[in-house]
Amino acid sequence: MFPRDIGSIERAKLDAILIRNWREIRTNLLNLDMDRPDSLCSWLGSAGYVPEAMLECPNALYYTPGDVERMAASNLGWRPKFVTDGIRRWLKMHRDVFAWLRRLNENQFREAIKAAHEYRTAQYETDQTRVNAILSEKPRTLLLKDPAKTFLETLGAPNLDASVLGLALRGTSESERLAAYLYWDKEGFPTVTARCDSPIEALCLSIHIDQNFSQRRAVNCARCGKWLDQIRGRDRFCSKECRNFYTTAERRKKIGLVKRAAQDWTTLPAQKKANRDRAEWIVSQVNKQTADEYALEVSWVRKMLGSSELKSQRTRAQNKPVPGAKTVTRRGRAAKRAERE
């Protein structure tokens, strides 16, 4: 399919369609905005889905270098009009199930797999009972509880699609099992290669791999709420921008708290201040008031008390009018001057 002359295609763009980073595609799916057709098109293309319209065209297998370049760079030919309501619903269903699975810890994941197997058995038995009831004309058995409902209730996931969730837990979200090859590599280590039939199966498999063999968990960015793969336990932000913004805002909040406590210290009676260290008192006050949310340290507070940063930031206490105090406006001043003259 690729022309010999690929010099005009950027290497990175070509790599993106030849070697897919499923974890990245998975995170992009979790963050996918279903109301933005352009995002849906680029996601579908990045995952390797080809629009049916392209396959229906008899010349679809012949691509010019220009076609390949365009498709590699954008979205494998997806256009908003190809994204039907059915595709959108199908994507949303999988996105919600995958996001739910990624929140589970190892034990919860295992328990959920067990529940998915029980659901399949219950569904089979219910279907059998229904068939027997129809054959023997006993409609009372049709009052059976819906196994899908029980399954979702057990897992506490009432808004998910039971069938997709069940398949995702027991298999690959599209099938109960997939083919795999076992062999020994040249170092003598056993290796298993699983064969996926579709991008969504590869994504589901990547979830099983991460839930079972890695510490990676998906969390929401502490600033903007976007999903991210938590590679280290302290990863909390989707981007550098979010981390910087959050850190600056938190620092401002901390400085504001220190400043307010420092003002409270000045109003303390002398005997209370005796034998007490100002910085230590401030730390104990702030940590008590915020239930240790910021876990201030004495050394940091001491440094702040001597810095110009603390003096320059106006606190809410300073901006708030003191109750009972008279505010002298410009007009008031002018009136007083007139009185004097």
Residues that bind Zn ion (CB under 5 A): 221, 223-224, 226, 238, 242
Nearest to Zn ion of 120, 243 (CB atom)? 243
Q: How far is the CB of 181 from Zn ion (least distance, A)?
A: 40
Burial 144-169 (b: 16+ CB within 10 A, else e): eeebbebbbeebebeebbbebbbbbb
Nearest to Zn ion of 153, 250 (CB atom)? 250
- Looking up tokens 């076992």 gives 182
Q: How far is the CB of 28 from Zn ion (least distance, A)?
A: 14
Going by the DSSP 8-state scheme, the letter that residue 82 receives in this structure is: G
Q: How far, in Å, CA of 19 to CA of 151, rounded?
A: 37
C-alpha of 28 from chain center:
9
Q: How far is the CB of 239 from Zn ion (least distance, A)?
A: 6
For 48: left if phi > 0, alpha if psi spans -120 to 50, otherwise beta; the answer is left
Closest CA to 155 of 201, 209, 119: 119
Q: How far is the CB of 90 from Zn ion (least distance, A)?
A: 27
Nearest to Zn ion of 32, 76 (CB atom)? 32
Q: How far is the CB of 225 from Zn ion (least distance, A)?
A: 7
Q: Which two tokens stand for residue 194?
A: 């699983």
SS3 218: strand
Please calculate the CA angle 293-295-301 and round it to the nearest 5 degrees: 125
Nearest to Zn ion of 70, 236 (CB atom)? 236
Nearest to Zn ion of 110, 226 (CB atom)? 226
